[in-house]
Amino acid sequence: MLVVVTGVPGVGKSTVMDSVAKTRGFKVANFGTEMFRVAQAKGLVKDRDEMRKLSPQVQREIQVGAARAVSAMGDVFVDTHSTVKTPSGYLPGLPKWVLDELKPSILVLVEASDEEIHGRRAGDPTRTRDPDPVDSIHEHQMMNRSAAMAYASLTGATVKIVWNHDKAVEAAVEDLARAVDGYR
């Protein structure tokens, strides 16, 4: 079973996903890391930042190679982004050629209130995050929802929203675990 788990930066997606993975025997694959491994194995890059300088065609080939590697892992949570916010707009985090290889069963959006995410980002000294205002965080979460439904239309996967509110991570973990258990 392959479950794609997405969420805006600061929502706590990795915390929720990692907890369920441990109790349900899932591997966790970070899609960006898998892309870097493919690019590195082909001798195209030495560090992850060089990947964005590759041509779009080469990036697409790397995405397909990473998706094939991830889909061969068995029961896996794929840690990735539904959309990628750029200065010129949003990019799809899961283009069709990636979805065709992954064939996800469930697309999960980990969410929290816009204000909670804003507060988490402001209070996290370990990360350098864009100082998005609350309305920008809201827009990004809505773009993720729209993209997830489009991805579901292409794959037949279900879409699950898991709420990760402040001081309630256990409830989010239980909700994701129920979704996974209910699919099996």
Instruction: Identify whether 61 is part of a domain.
Output: no
Instruction: Identify whether 100 is part of a domain.
Output: yes
Instruction: Identify whether 60 is part of a domain.
Output: no
Sole residue written with tokens 């560090």 = 47
Q: Distance between CA 29 and CA 35 in Å, rounded?
A: 11
Structure tokens at 130: 């864009």
Mean pLDDT, all residues of the chain:
94
Q: Which residues contact 151 (CB under 8 A, 6 or more apart)?
A: 4, 82, 94, 99, 104, 107, 157, 159
Instruction: Identify whether 49 is part of a domain.
Output: no
Segments forming the whole domain that contains residue 13: 2-29+74-183
Do you know the residue count of the chain?
A: 184
CATH classification of the domain holding 173: 3.40.50.300
pLDDT, average across residues 14-35 = 96
Instruction: Identify whether 38 is part of a domain.
Output: no
Instruction: Identify whether 78 is part of a domain.
Output: yes
Angle between helices 169-183 and 13-24 (to 10 degrees): 50
Provide the pLDDT for residue 130.
Answer: 66
- Band the pLDDT of 117: cuts 50, 70, 90: very high
pLDDT, average across residues 110-119 = 96
Instruction: Identify whether 167 is part of a domain.
Output: yes
Domain count, the chain: 1
Query: Sheet of 27-30: strands edge to edge?
Result: 27-30, 76-79, 2-6, 106-111, 158-163
Angle between helices 134-155 and 114-122 (to 10 degrees): 120
